[in-house]
Structure 1
């Protein structure tokens, strides 16, 4: 972008002047006797810059945000303050006591969301209800999703789709492995395979879609290329949704105008245009099919009934009357929310679980022994078997402890003055909960950085067996009215994929060396490197081609 004299005089200089004035006013406000006498606010972390505050900390570097915030907690205490620009304060909560205050006493007070740029450009102007603030729209859509899409009864009706997709993906993996020159083993990037599998699983449920992925080295079909494109679009979406935008830190229209010219905001607009085109085409297909059907089939009684079908049946002009979005936008935004929440977080969790298991051969052996002893090699693991796999449950829970799906929760906003951890939290403060740090609290977890599934076994002694999703020491899916509504689906998918994969394949690293466990950047804390492992089938070929 070329900056001419007109732009500098009319935009840049006034913006800098307003920022300077706002900075001076803020500093005077912070130093006022009233604030010092009557407010006990959390300590502010060091490293803030004039005007910009801690923007450099939040938006730069190659260290994951959860680790940055955890290091600051070690230095300043479990609850501390960051400054975002001139006015906006962020309180970071790193302890279970602070989390309890946020999501019990102050649950309603802290249920709001900030109006960030990502919600506007990547969330249909915040129609994606996980990004929407606490409002009648949010309450109505959350209730709809819980009762009409993700209830236990609805998920049970979709069980056959889940089982079929897992089996199909395992068969494709078997074909990929056996197509290698050796015919027995092959090195596979499990990161890619798990992303493909989890995306297909949620697309089947949401839109009735499934994409064929590569099963041989020369497989370059049109469908495969289309699938790769969709995966890349969703991957870029997840990257962009975690980006910092300066316009969110400075409440001036001039700053927001200049921000529109930045490449990151342009990328948001471009990727959302592609996503909307995909979602609109799926919606149009469903509308066309509904018109062709002479009778309406009850949800769950037909393989063609997916989430978009349900939403078309229930979300109409009457449903959206009084809401701020038209019904078509609500359907696309809800479908997008389900796809994003149901694919990327699950794939990242499964990738870390696989990584940990490969690096701990004793855990792999114990998992396989448990599955073989309870199910054997004469049939595939079924959903009904999962309850008997106590060690598998412990491995999954321990992975969620070390790598929660969202290490740092989507920001909350306090809509009233409140207290968290004994500190005064003024109205308008943003609240960041660092679940990653809470899960590694040495007061609760001995050797908190070590992978020890045994700590979650029912017969283990001591305080390290908190009932999952009940105590605030263990919050992989959040807590309170903003907690994750898809945890039941995520766990059903996780247990079935891991159990059948361990049952059907052996895996090891190419050189029998430990995997690199470096963490990448992103809101879901993905691996920094591919998960390359050598795959070997361990069951008769007929198992992979059965229709089970």
Structure 2
């Protein structure tokens, strides 16, 4: 396991003797915090520890621990993570208040040290609510993630899917499906962000692949300094600060080179691919120039780099994570795999490969994808919010500047609203009139893998065809099974252990046997 993903817990173990000494030396006196007294009714709060509050209780898989705590203390809890008061909501009704009824009050983001260091404090995903965030989201939604722009990258997605098939055929007896899907998603976003010529992005070589992997791992790291500022030295001791600095410097140099190359080509009168095939860098440079000419807010190079990193982090980590979970679930559910393969092969007919034109016909494939999002929500706690004013959730008072966490994973497994909530049952979405719509959170808050409201993920329209095309391609072209276990003649069940990071992913590497299939078989 990567030390970055567990460093806060190692740090707690290392510092435990110091905590005990400090606690007893001050007679167990707590720092004043949210008072219950005779004031507004605060959410229930489980017993915590001195100084660190509930932080050490969360363990390596916080979404599961918070779910267990919510079963005892209710769907709205008040925790103290170090010095940070944190409200955790774990029901659809509470999520609806946070992301719809009182969306504006909950629309900001807390300060996250790693995000500030890695994405300049100028991005869209982690930025606090305000003018910069509104401008960044406007630019992203109108210019990068519009339906027209998504369609413009269709050829690139289909080419990356074809390349993925070639890698499977050349992989030998056992295919590393995890690595395969990482390569595919990196290729898709590299084409969209930097251009089709392959000069940029993780396809450049091993160093850039490693750089982007470090970036994503660090971005998913929660530091001690975020919750206990006087223990920020622990992050330095664990090497996090040095690693973050090194990664930020290398990433900045890479993005500077990308922007400089685009500017040089533009000065020479060449813009990649014409109006409908511009990459993200060219689009953002166009926005910058247009707004400068109109005297509006200037979208400068730092903002461009921050948005590019947002797009890369969002489009790679959660996309390949979801695809790996989908393949693993189908391996463990062969009846469902056969059903979705039959649907795909019927739709494609005698064609050589799956095209995006086929996707609208694949209703059961979408049921599989939605059930994967429900059962294996890639961002189980979404991204934390911060209240901008005093507000409330389900009648409980939530003070301004409180951190708020929506446990989308727990909501999606609530047995009060989902039958067989712990099982993989794609058929549950078969009669859903909104099967083609993954943003059910706008109407049905039992299912919020992309969040909702002002802070909902704006990139769903880009991510969905990327995922559907990859899964359909792999299931159309190959029959899949687990390799035989040691000394056993039949395949075993896939272990579904989780590993926390920027997203919650399948812990074991997904290694499968692929047998080619064609319509002439």
Name the TM-score, length of structure 1 as normaliser.
0.83
Tell me the equivalent position of 1:52. Answer: 52
**Cα distance change on mapping 1:20 and 1:340 into 2, 3 Å:** farther
Q: SS in structure 2 opposite 1:37? A: coil
C-alpha displacement of 1:538: 1.0
C-alpha displacement of 1:74: 1.4
Candidates 167, 171, 193, aligned match of 1:206: 193
Residue 75 of structure 1 pairs with residue 72 of structure 2? yes
**Cα distance change on mapping 1:24 and 1:250 into 2, 3 Å:** same
Mapped partners of 1:224, 1:281: distance in 2? 14
C-alpha displacement of 1:488: 0.9
Q: How does 1:105-124 map to 2 (within 5 A)?
A: 105-124=101-120
**Number of residue pairs the alignment of both structures matches:** 490
Tell me the equivalent position of 2:496. Answer: 517
C-alpha displacement of 1:295: 7.6
Asked whether the 8 Å contact 2:186–2:203 carries over to 1, the reply is no
Candidates 229, 240, 262, aligned match of 2:207: 229
Q: SS in structure 1 opposite 2:498? A: coil
Mapped partners of 2:519, 2:263: distance in 1? 43
**Cα distance change on mapping 1:297 and 1:263 into 2, 3 Å:** closer
Q: SS in structure 2 opposite 1:100? A: helix
Tell me the equivalent position of 1:170. Answer: 165
**Cα distance change on mapping 1:150 and 1:20 into 2, 3 Å:** farther
Q: SS in structure 1 opposite 2:512? A: strand
Mapped partners of 1:335, 1:466: distance in 2? 23
**Which string of whole-angstrom CA distances, capped at 9 and with x for unpartnered residues, describes residues 22-45 of structure 1?**
x95744x655xxx42122111112
C-alpha displacement of 1:229: 2.8
Mapped partners of 1:142, 1:232: distance in 2? 29
**Which string of whole-angstrom CA distances, capped at 9 and with x for unpartnered residues, describes residues 359-409 of structure 1?**
111011111111222222333222222111121111111001011231111
Asked whether the 8 Å contact 1:188–1:535 carries over to 2, the reply is yes
Asked whether the 8 Å contact 1:319–1:327 carries over to 2, the reply is no
Tell me the equivalent position of 2:97. Answer: 101
Asked whether the 8 Å contact 1:98–1:420 carries over to 2, the reply is yes
**Cα distance change on mapping 1:415 and 1:409 into 2, 3 Å:** same
Mapped partners of 2:255, 2:439: distance in 1? 41
Q: How does 1:336-485 map to 2 (within 5 A)?
A: 336-458=309-431, 467=440, 469-485=442-458
Q: SS in structure 1 opposite 2:38? A: helix
**Cα distance change on mapping 1:332 and 1:399 into 2, 3 Å:** same
Tell me the equivalent position of 1:487. Answer: 460
**Which string of whole-angstrom CA distances, capped at 9 and with x for unpartnered residues, describes residues 496-540 of structure 1?**
111111111111000111111111121310111100000121128
Structure 2: 5+ residue stretches without partners: 1-17, 485-490
Tell me the equivalent position of 1:538. Answer: 517
Please report the RMSD computed on the Cα atoms of aligned residues, expressed in angstroms: 3.1
Q: How does 1:82-161 map to 2 (within 5 A)?
A: 82-86=79-83, 88-124=84-120, 126-161=121-156
**Cα distance change on mapping 1:429 and 1:483 into 2, 3 Å:** same
Asked whether the 8 Å contact 2:272–2:279 carries over to 1, the reply is no
Candidates 175, 187, 192, aligned match of 2:174: 187
Tell me the equivalent position of 1:8. Answer: none
Residue 265 of structure 1 pairs with residue 244 of structure 2? no
Asked whether the 8 Å contact 1:19–1:51 carries over to 2, the reply is no
Q: SS in structure 1 opposite 2:87? A: strand
Structure 1: 5+ residue stretches without partners: 1-12, 181-185, 213-222, 544-548
Residue 503 of structure 1 pairs with residue 490 of structure 2? no
Q: SS in structure 1 opposite 2:111? A: coil
